[in-house]
Structures are given as C-alpha cells and as structure tokens.
Amino acid sequence: MTQKKILYGQVVTPLRVTAAYLTVENGKITGISTTKPILDATTEFFDYGAQYIFPGFIDGHVHCFSNPDEGFAATSVGAAVGGVTTFVDMPYDRPKPINTAARFNAKKAQIKGQTIVDIALWGTIPKQDGVKEIPGLIAAGAAAFKMSTFETDPERFPKISDVDIYDALTKLRKTGIVPAFHSENNEMIVDLIARYQQAGATYPRAHMETRPIIVETTAVQELCEIAKWTGSKLHIVHVSAPETVDLIDAYRQQGVAVTCETCYQYLVLDIHDLEKMGPRAKMNPPLREPETVAGLWQRLIAGKIDYVTSDHVPWAASDKAKGQANIFEAPSGLPGIELVAPVLYDAGVAQGRLSPVQFSQLMATHVAQRFNFSQKGSIELGKDADFAILDPQAQFTITDAGLHTKTNAITPLAGRTLQGKVTATWVRGQRVYADDQVLAPFTYGDFVPGQGLKAGASNEG
C-alpha cells in the first residue's frame, strides 16, 4: 500500500485546462475532481496553485550513447529537469548499434539502477541481411524501429537498401510497430559534400548548402511510397521543412499511416545561428532559412506535425571544436532533453501560438499514441501518475554550465531566457525532481516495453 497523494493545480486534460484535484494511489491516477477530496491524516497534499499540471512529457528521440561517455543516468536527470518522464533511446550506440536481440537485452539490463525516469528503447537492423533480426527485437521489447536512408556510419548508423526497407516494412506491418526513418538523400549529400570539400568551401553555411530541402523531400517521398505499397505505418523523424510536412500530409490524405515529428531546434534557430556559431549549431538536418522556420510553425499550429522531440546528443566544446576550420569535421547534434519542453512552452504557449492542450499533445499525448504506451501520455483515470509541473510565471536563462550532462555539452541556445519553468516532475506517483533537487534514486526508473512484446513472441517471424 502506498500513501494516497492529492495534487491541486491547473490540470491539463486531453480537452481543457481545469483547476482540479488529482488523486494518486499506487502510482496511478485514481481521481480527477474539481471539488477538494477529503484529506485524511495519511494523505499528502501538494498545492501547485496557479501552476500547470501537464501529463509527463515523452521525448521520443534521444541518443544516450552516441557520445558513450554520457549514458542513461545523466540523461535521466536532464529528462526530469525538463519534465520528461519517459524517453525513447535511439539504437545507434557506440561502439555497436542495437540491431540484435542479444544487444537489445544487454542494453535493457543496464536501465535498472541508472535512471530516475522511465525509458523505452528503439531497435534497428544491420545493413546486410538485417530484416531477420526484427522478430527477436520485438520479442525483447523494442518500442519501434529506426532506420536511415543516409549513411552516417557503415556499421553503427548505416543506409538501409530500398529492398530491405520494403521487406522490413512488410514484416512490421503485421506487428503494428512503427518504423521510423532518418530521411535524407544519401547520393545527393555525398556528391555535394565532395564538391564543396574539393572547392575548399567548408564555411558553416556549407553544411546547409550541401543538405538542401530537396534531400529531405526526395527521401521522404520514396519512404511514403514504400509505406503506401506495403500498408505499413511510417514515422519521419526530425522534419526540418514545411515542404516535407506537406508531402507527408498528401500521403495521409491517400490513407497512408504516416506521422512526423520536428525538433525544438528547428522552431527557434535558423541558418543565421549556424553562420554565427558554426559547429555549436551544427545538426542533421541543418538549420534553415527564417521563412522555412515560419512555415514549420504554421504546420505545427495547424496540427500537421504530430509531435516535437529533442534529438538529444550532448557533444562537449572540445568535440565541436574539431569543426572550427571545416564545418564538415564537426560532430552533428545538440543537447536538448531538458530544453525541448521549456523551449516549446516559451515559444509556443507563452508567446500565444499554442494552447496548453496543444502543447501537451505535442509533448506527451501524440507521442504515447504513436509508440502505443497505453499507460502514459495523458491525465486520465487509470493512467500512470506521470506529471510535469510547470510554473508559467517563472523564468530561467539557459547556460552551457547549467545543462545536466556528464559530458559538459554546449548549446546554441545559451544566453536565452525562457518564460515558464518545470518546478517538479512526477513519475508513477513519486516526485523524482522538485525545486532543482533530484529526489529519487537511480533504481527508480523502469523499462517501458514496446507493445509488440506479446505479439512479437507469438508472431510467425
């Protein structure tokens, strides 16, 4: 028997914001009421007053081991600081990607004891003859499958051939599990970078010029065609341009079950930040022109983008310095698990572009739906008591030193002041973080299995 807890605040339910009391027992939401429940001597009461109680945020796109010095523990603290109660870790780990059931199980075994929030895991497949790994990975609990049309690394982050993508989507269709893609046109990028390098054009903006929007749209169009002809679901990660969203939407209208995410950085940074800051603002896809950013906002507000993620990759200043003279030599990516929700709240809700309900859909509900995390993603009776408490009156300023990363990561958002701050984070009925303090042991966080766990075991393989 755990103690009963009551929270009061501006509760963001799937339909509206209501001043309400939430009852929490045994890690679950057992009451939602606009009148104050009777408090007995053992009930703990948390009065959040005018603060929002959002469903715990879910970051569907995190890389704990791209920089292997980082790991789960530090990332889980950053998650809690940013109100993220569940994150889904990408499979492109160093030194070896998570592309077999054995590697998946080894990674899963590391979770317990190293996290204060809940974690689900992506699987991926090897470049050669990889489709056969899918049933084992599903049985082991993979939440979804990540693949790439761009070759970041031949073993760790390979380009999967068109025919293997076709076979993988055919196989996944029967499982209901979502395949997701890093979608960039490999041939065009490789050729463009070779031309630029040859010409000595290695200035920061060259990173964007060698990855124009057409490399994203051509890759996405092909994937949408494969999803259409196989009947599979499809998810496109880190969409960077409104033209891509419109293309995806055209396939949705044909009945293709395709969704997409963008990342917070594509909503608040543009090409001028890459020009000014160089490697610090280098990521894939690259930052784009201000009118592209404005177009993404239009689609986000119109509900054409399903959710927002961080694509968290914490590189230190010393890593990024490798690209000082040649932008192509800098590692790509930026930290974000603790920033994604506060940045979207500031730019979206505080600036009046998104309602709190839209914000909670983009940061929690739609993510849980896409991964089939049936216990998470919204404040409803019977769901996990995962909450992000956000004070709309509080402000904070982003700094490199203030980031909760083990690797001393740097961010192109350093110096920005945000309206709205996460003051407490609850995971399954326990406060894991409050008032700038970590309150839970690293043994608290749990593995969240993919919904194919049972189906995968009985699947024909």
- What does the binding site for Zn ion look like in residue numbers (CB under 5 A)? 311
Q: How far is the CB of 91 from Zn ion (least distance, A)?
A: 10
DSSP 68-93: TTTHHHHHHHHHHHTTEEEEEE-S--
310 token code pair: 């961080």
361 token code pair: 């859909």
Q: How far is the CB of 215 from Zn ion (least distance, A)?
A: 16
Cβ neighbours around 320 below 10 Å, total: 22
User: Do residues 188 and 250 touch, judged by C-beta distance below 8 A?
Assistant: no
Q: How far is the CB of 284 from Zn ion (least distance, A)?
A: 8
Distance from C-alpha of 174 to C-alpha of 461, rounded to nearest angstrom? 10
Query: How far, in whole angstroms, is CA 224 from its chain's centroid?
Result: 21
Distance from C-alpha of 152 to C-alpha of 302, rounded to nearest angstrom? 33
Nearer to Zn ion, 5 or 312 (CB): 312
Nearer to Zn ion, 127 or 182 (CB): 182
Q: How far is the CB of 437 from Zn ion (least distance, A)?
A: 30
Closest CA to 361 of 13, 80, 79: 13
Q: CB nearest Zn ion: which residue?
A: 311
Nearer to Zn ion, 164 or 311 (CB): 311
- To which residue do tokens 């073993």 refer? 155
Nearer to Zn ion, 306 or 311 (CB): 311
189 token code pair: 């990028």
Q: How far is the CB of 108 from Zn ion (least distance, A)?
A: 20
Q: How far is the CB of 159 from Zn ion (least distance, A)?
A: 15
Give the CA distances from residue 68 to residues 24, 65, 94, 154, in Å, rounded to whole numbers and listed in that order.
37, 4, 6, 18
Nearer to Zn ion, 29 or 339 (CB): 339
Nearer to Zn ion, 65 or 433 (CB): 65
Bridge-based pairing state of the strands 144-148 and 118-123: parallel
User: Do residues 388 and 81 touch, judged by C-beta distance below 8 A?
Assistant: no
DSSP 239-297: ---HHHHHHHHHHHHTT--EEEEEETHHHH--HHHHHHHGGGG--SSPP--HHHHHHHH
- To which residue do tokens 């993988």 refer? 168
Nearer to Zn ion, 337 or 432 (CB): 337
Give the CA distances from residue 138 to residues 144, 149, 234, in Å, rounded to whole numbers and listed in that order.
8, 22, 16
Q: How far is the CB of 305 from Zn ion (least distance, A)?
A: 16
Q: How far is the CB of 436 from Zn ion (least distance, A)?
A: 28
Considering just the CA atoms, what is the radius of gyration of the chain in Å?
21
User: Do residues 407 and 67 touch, judged by C-beta distance below 8 A?
Assistant: yes
229 token code pair: 């002809």
Q: How far is the CB of 277 from Zn ion (least distance, A)?
A: 20
User: Do residues 327 and 206 touch, judged by C-beta distance below 8 A?
Assistant: yes
Nearer to Zn ion, 90 or 165 (CB): 90
DSSP 389-419: EEEEEEEEE--STTS--TT-B--TTTT-EEE
- Helix (H), strand (E) at residue 33: strand 28-33
Q: How far is the CB of 69 from Zn ion (least distance, A)?
A: 18
Nearer to Zn ion, 263 or 418 (CB): 263
117 token code pair: 């929030």
User: Do residues 12 and 364 touch, judged by C-beta distance below 8 A?
Assistant: no
Nearer to Zn ion, 8 or 157 (CB): 157
Q: How far is the CB of 238 from Zn ion (least distance, A)?
A: 6
Nearer to Zn ion, 284 or 326 (CB): 284
Nearer to Zn ion, 311 or 338 (CB): 311
Q: How far is the CB of 210 from Zn ion (least distance, A)?
A: 19
